[in-house]
Amino acid sequence: MENEKNDLNIKKEKMFSILTGVLAGFINGLFGGGGGMMVVPMLSKLLRYPAKVSHATAILIILPFSILSGLLYAYNGNCKLSVLFPAGIGVIIGGVLGALLLKKLSSKWVVIIFSVVMAVAGVKLLLF
Amino acid sequence: MEYVWFIVSGVVAGIFGGMGMGGGTFLIPLLTIFNGVGQHTAQAVNLISFIPMAVIAIVIHLKNKIIKFDKILLIIIPGLFSCFFGFYLSKNLTGNILSKVFGGFLIALSVFQFISSIKKDENTKL
């Protein structure tokens, strides 16, 4: 019985892993982003990774998708360097700031602010 | 002058990203709403600007040994295929439609995030 249970769990884990990858990859290719926001909860809830491990592993998962998508989009002529360079520099600066700030702000508020801002942005994009 | 707004958008998105809050997802609407950049361009910029940050973050996480490798190939390899599929779909949608679908996705994500953060709160209170 024990062995059967273990086998089932292993199969479940494999299926969840594949599902996570398929969804994240699809979102990454379709939207050029947002995959991470799906991967983290899937890793922590379906595969039961601890929170920090979910976040860290998610980056390693999204990276190859982003490289592939990035190449595809660039090949398709979508990447304007005049936008990429300033935005890219901003992202690096912001990323360092954010990593430093992370220690100081309470996560609860960060998530709330972020959710509200995302919702507003989403509504604007959807309706206008 | 435009480029100043692009830098600011990047910084704001990067701050959220640096906090592990999916800043990329934020960069796209910032670029498209305020700067008149097309949806496909914004997506491409987001993808490519993510790469250097991700590499640095991964090096740090590897040092701290908080990356779990055991299922990684099982996750990444099928994902690469569906990534192609997603891209192909996006290629065949106009910027306007893709933008709206992305908007809907953001709303769904924000609701989901909001609910799960409230749930977390309730759990910790118990």
Q: Supply the ipTM of this predicted assembly.
A: 0.87
Which of B89, B68, B39 shows the shortest CA–CA distance to A83? Answer: B39
Distance CA A22, CA B81 (A): 8
Supply the DSSP symbol for A78: -
What are the C-alpha distances in Å from A78 to residues B3, B11, B95? 18, 22, 11
User: Position of tokens 């759990």?
Assistant: B123
Give the pLDDT confidence of A25-56 residue by residue, as tens digits: 999 999 998 888 889 889 988 999 988 888 88
Q: Does B12 touch chain A (CB under 8 A)?
A: yes
Distance CA B14, CA B69 (A): 26
Give the pLDDT confidence of A63-101 residue by residue, as tens digits: 999 999 999 999 988 888 999 999 999 998 988 888 777
Closest-CA distance of chain A to residue B38, Å: 9
pLDDT score for B64: 86
User: Roughly how many angstroms between the first and final C-alpha of chain A, as a whole number?
Assistant: 58
What does pLDDT average to in each consecutive run of 10 residues of chain B (126 residues)? 87 81 80 83 93 87 89 96 96 92 88 77 60
Cβ-based neighbour number of residue A109 at 10 Å: 10
Instruction: Indicate the pTM of the whole model.
Output: 0.85
* Neighbouring C-alpha atoms within 13 Å toward the C-beta of B83: 30
Residues of B in contact with A115 (CB under 8 A): 110-111, 113-114, 117
pLDDT score for B90: 95
Q: Does B14 touch chain A (CB under 8 A)?
A: yes
